[in-house]
Structure 1
């Protein structure tokens, strides 16, 4: 290389250093913004998940209370209704099967 070519490359290198520094800072800021956006979205999803879990836990507590408090009563009442239905069917002389066959 001759002296003229080297002399022309020196200002190009000198000007490219600040340009590369500006570009690097810009890329760093973009990466930080992406990290913050992802963190915010993740926190929002976690809050939604927590509220859904809490709602489900409350529903399970209610169901557990229903089952444990009145579970035996409900089963006994269902059986009593079944027994009453059998008595009603035998008194009327009409069975459910015959009514179903008539509908079809």
Structure 2
């Protein structure tokens, strides 16, 4: 086997190894996304908590605005 053929074999082995590594990584990521029911439940819980936080923020801002208006009306008296 000459030097040229050895270089070709090394390049082919490297390319095959890289390709197989990428395929296995993608499979693992897909299994993690789809296969874990706990992850789905946690995602739903985070979504619900974000919605609740948005409501609380809106209530807080409304109360601040309302309080500000009440203070201004008292000043005007």
**Alignment-derived partner of residue 51 in structure 1:** 17
- State the aligned residue count: 60
Q: TM-score, normalised by structure 2?
A: 0.58
State how 1:30-69 maps to structure 2 within 5 Å: 36-69=2-35
State how 1:1-104 maps to structure 2 within 5 Å: 36-70=2-36, 73=40, 75-93=43-61
Q: 1:55 to 1:76 in 2, by over 3 A?
A: same
Q: Which segments of structure 1 move beyond 4 Å, counting only runs of 4 or more? A: none
Structure whose alpha-carbon radius of gyration is higher: 1
Q: 1:36 to 1:66 in 2, by over 3 A?
A: same
| 1:78, distance to aligned residue in structure 2 (A) | 4.1
Q: 1:51 to 1:80 in 2, by over 3 A?
A: same
Contiguous gaps of at least 5 residues in structure 1: 1-34, 95-104
Q: C-alpha distance in 2, partners of 1:70/1:87? A: 30
**What's the C-alpha RMSD, in Å, of the aligned pairs?**
2.6
